[in-house]
Amino acid sequence: MIEFKNFSFKYLNQSNPTLKNINLKIKAGEKILIAGSSGSGKSTLGNCLNGIVPFSKDGGFIGELVVDGIKPYEKGIFETSKHIGTVLQDQDGQFVGLSVGEDVAFLDENNCVSQDKIFLDVDVALGLVDMIECKDKSPQELSGGQKQRVALAGIMRASANILLFDEPLANLDPISGKNAMKLISKIHRESNKTIIVIEHRIEEVLEENFDRVIIINDGEIIADGTPEELLRKEIFEKNGLREPLYIEALRFANINFEKDVIYPLEKIGTINNKVKLQEWCKDVKGIEKNFDRESLILEKINFGYDKKNKILENINFSLKEGEILALLGNNGAGKSTLSKIITGIEKQDDGFIKLFDNNIENESVRKRGEKIGYVMQNPNHMLTQETVLKEVEFGLKIRGIKNYKEIAIDTLKICGIYEYRNWPINSLSYGQKKRVSIAAILALNPKLLILDEPTAGQDYKHYKEFMKFIKKISENKISIILITHDMHLALEYSDRAIVLSSGKIIADDTPINILSNKNIMKIANLRETSISTMAEILDIPSQLLLNYFIRCQNKEDKGEDRDV
């Protein structure tokens, strides 16, 4: 079905190959996970499969690639698309219709399907991804998660024998991500198509079964085996990927990874595992931080795009200097809208906002921008310059900062992207673009930093490096709001969490207490971590296990003995 033979590829503007001597066979009907850190070459490998390389992104290759009986580099993108359908990581680059319905209908229209059949096919596809109510909306009106679902609906219309999903969980809230993976599994079961998923979010993806996992690092295939085989080898973290949280907890508890049951999660409830976890897990209390001065106050905030439909209702909370606040909630809960209210992009209908005791209601977006840094969810909406270095320098230059080049270079080093400083923006992966957009804002030294899905598209290595940096700058009394779907992020790095649902605050507590509250998690459409699931399986209190895990994780990050 698919075979790479001694295949290497190098982009035109790079000196070293991105893919090196790839030898890989994928059989018809297999379900494959291709995993790797940002810049590892995994998306380039996918682009070779669907013809984007070399027809859309220039470069040279040696070796041979056969996909469903054709060689993509000889046929072009259109002909290759008849054999392999693709959901791109960057959804904005995939939409062609003026409305959601038109976009999903695109394939049928190209195949000269009758109008009545097109209407039926569109309704069925959108119904399966719960997007039928958005059929007449423009794709640009949708949230990132909604765009992803529309892309999934479109790929379901493809008759290709192979379906390729490039970072399908990017921009999805946890439950939507879980449903997306279930939908991909359903497509696989019912169609017996060959499924290839390119992802770095190992915990979420491995909730569904895969025949094989292929790990790529620095353009080479490092490992190829079943999920269980690779989880037993500790190979994920060595290659910039994060193991499922429950696997980390099992390692902390000294479970025997050669003999004990570790996978799948629902089968780990053995007597041996339970005894070892209970011996390891002690009754400890979380460490609470004390903060002094309030940096941000919101009182009685209401907002709606029209009088009938309120997007935000009676929002009240404060943020302290140096505090890291996680803003949680499903797609459409009002998280991004609230950030726009704070930054002045949108103006509230009622209520007031204070920043360091000053009412900022009448301040312009530019004036607020001198104190509030806002990093958008989609980096393509922020990047305007030709190269990475020029992008980070840009904001500094227009503010008249003389040592802009020095500050830009230091920021790039801190954010782990200095080596890409002279790269064209268009040559970066989505995750790399995300880091550039964050670096451009951090270079401006804001007093309040709002990060909309900061870890979306980030591999584990850069996730840890970046969040360590975020914690470090919070120690300098910079307040930080993390708008996120990432329960791991909220659990490990935030001091407090607020949960939004239908525009209202339904919880304001520690992340551990929120993630242990099944009712809140259900109402807000949030996904339990695998540690909470393991606690239930092993009959251990969830708060206890989460507390202990975080204590051990923090000690390991600091290089200390992880035994509490």
> Is 44 domain-assigned?
yes
> What pLDDT score does 559 carry?
60
Count of domains forming the chain: 3
Say if residue 339 is in the same domain as residue 435.
yes
**Segments of the chain scoring below 70 in pLDDT:** 91, 144-145, 171, 282-288, 457, 555-564
Pairwise CA distance, residues 258 & 71, whole Å: 41
Do 42 and 100 fall within a single domain?
yes
Instruction: Give 536: exposed, middle or buried? Use CB within 10 Å, 0-12, 13-18, 19+.
Output: middle
Residues 160 and 11 in one domain: yes
Q: Do 523 and 550 fall into the same domain?
A: no
Say what the pLDDT of residue 428 is.
Answer: 86
- Alpha-carbon distance of 525 to 506, in angstroms, equals 12
CB atoms near residue 511 (< 10 Å) = 22
Residue 74 shares a structural domain with residue 217: yes
What pLDDT, on a 0 to 100 scale, did the predictor assign at position 144? 67
Length of the chain: 564
Task: Specify whether 193 is located in the same domain as 323.
Answer: no
Tokens describing residue 301: 């905030």
CATH code of residue 11? 3.40.50.300
pLDDT reported for residue 341: 95
283 falls within a domain: yes
Task: Give the pLDDT confidence score for residue 212 in this predicted structure.
Answer: 98
Q: In the chain, what is the straight-line distance between the N-terminal and C-terminal CA atoms, in Å? A: 51
- Tell whether 239 is covered by a domain: no
**536, 507: one domain:** no
Full DSSP string of 381-419 = GT--SSBHHHHHHHHHHHTT-TTHHHHHHHHHHHTT-GG
CA separation for the pair 70, 424 (Å, rounded): 32
Predicted pLDDT at 257: 93
Rounded CA separation 478/23 (Å): 48
Q: Which amino acid belongs to residue 181?
A: M
Same domain, 57 and 138: yes
Do 310 and 204 share a structural domain?
Answer: no
Give the residue from 377, 410, 398, 403 showing the smallest Cα distance to 482: 377
Within 10 Å of residue 118's Cβ, how many Cβ atoms? Answer: 20
pLDDT of residue 109: 87
Would 378 be classed as within a structural domain? yes
Could you tell me if 69 and 215 lie in one domain? yes
| Domain assignment present for 45 | yes
Range of the domain at 202: 2-233
Inside any domain, residue 170: yes
Residue 192: inside a domain: yes
268 shares a domain with 216: no
- Quick one: 159 and 255 in the same domain? no
* Per-residue confidence (pLDDT) for residue 494, from 0 to 100: 94
What pLDDT is stored for residue 487 in this prediction? 85
Question: Is 50 exposed, middle or buried, given 0-12, 13-18 or 19+ CB atoms closer than 10 A?
Answer: buried
